[in-house]
Amino acid sequence: MIAFLAQITPETPESFEGLSIADLLLKGGIVMIPIILLLFLATYLFIERFLYIRQKAKQQKDLVQNITRMIKDSDIKAATMFAERETSSTGRILASGLQYIGRPMKEIEGVMESTANVEVGEMEKGTGYLGIIAGIAPMLGFIGTISGIIRIFYTISLSDNISIGIIAGGLYEKMITSGAGLVVGVLAYTGYHILNQMIQNFTLRAQRDSLEFIRYIMSPAS
């Protein structure tokens, strides 16, 4: 046993020193292909949704105050045009309410709520795929683990010989695919919840702005 360890010890550092990340990925086998594809897809989805949500959630400072000031001056048309020029989702929500000023308050609230639901739905579009990737990637890694174990025992059954070389080949595939699948899953899971948190922050702010707008048009002074 001591002689066996002495034979493999000098070779081990050299193997790891010359082993690059690309070599490690190649050792993972064919299961690494869908895992890498999922990594690229998750990265694209996160960046695209992040930029979209940030753009739609960003709004002018004192947006509601500017609109209510125009309403106070009895210039509903100017207030509507001002809200429609706003690129944020909040601007669209307020613009939908302005178009129905003069009608019953329930109609105004209903239109604004429907518009808010549409805007939130647009923000959430595609984020569900990140959740799917977060679940699939670790499963693919687990499939690679099973494949590696099967490969080990199949090779042993053919050669009728248990050696470190035979075991190491299967263990590479087993450990690399498992690790890669978990990394992709964690990244997708994190991205999914970051986007959801951004949407929740926007929803809360939009509700506050809508409530302030409705309170103003309901007040006798308006």
Residue spans per domain, the chain: 27-48+126-202, 61-124+212-218
187 confidence band (pLDDT: 50, 70, 90): very high
Beta strands in 55-108 (DSSP E): none
- pLDDT number for residue 130: 94
pTM of the prediction?
Answer: 0.78
- Which pLDDT score, from 0 to 100, does residue 218 have? 79
The rounded distance, in Å, linking the Cα atoms of 207 and 11 is: 65
Contact 32, 176 (CB under 8 A): yes
Asked if residues 115 and 92 have their Cβ atoms less than 8 Å apart, the reply is: yes
CA distances (Å), origin 219, targets 96, 212, 216: 19, 11, 5
Residue 173 has pLDDT above 80, yes or no: no
pLDDT band at 117 (very low <50, low <70, confident <90, very high): very high
